[in-house]
Amino acid sequence: MAKVIGYPKWFNAVGPDMIRLKLGNRERHNQFVNNPCGTIVTTGMVMEQVKKYNSVDPYGHLYGAIIGSIRAYQQCKKENKYAEYHPAFCSHYVADLSQPLHNIEYNAFNQKYHRDVDGVINDEVLDNLI
């Protein structure tokens, strides 16, 4: 996804999955939302999740993480700090949002098949982005 939108450092978008090895749940909970079937996502729900960015929450807060990463980028830029990694996090979260098992209830089906579904990558994917 990051490469498709022209993000020059698209390879950094894997970073959130890499740091989960060290940060565990603190980062993992930015990458999903545990929505029961029939959940209607509202603006209020999304904005409520923003304050949970980079925190542990068993329900996840993927929507808020997208906004939180953009706000972190803006804050770093304002403080003249290195901000380059925040767009990588944002693009990772948006890509997670496009994966259905990151946006539904983490039930027995999701637990059983999540890794398999996330791991589906065609050899030619980078040659056929658009």
Domain limits, the chain: 1-32+54-118
- The model's pLDDT over 42-67, given as tens digits with 9 standing for 90+, comes to 999 999 999 999 999 999 999 999 99
- The model's pLDDT over 53-102, given as tens digits with 9 standing for 90+, comes to 999 999 999 999 999 999 999 999 999 999 999 999 999 999 899 888 99
- For 90-112, letters b (16+ CB in 10 Å) and e give bbbbbbbbeeebbbbbbeeebee
With both helix axes pointing from N to C terminus, report the angle between 62-78 and 85-97 in degrees, rounded to the nearest 10: 160
Nearest to 30 by CA among 72, 59, 78, 62: 62
Structure tokens at 103: 């946006």
* Residue 6 pLDDT: 79
Asked if residue 125 has pLDDT above 70, the reply is no
Asked if residue 27 has pLDDT above 70, the reply is yes
Structure tokens at 57: 């929450």
* Residue 122 pLDDT: 57
* Spatial contact of 7 and 95, defined as CB atoms under 8 Å apart: no
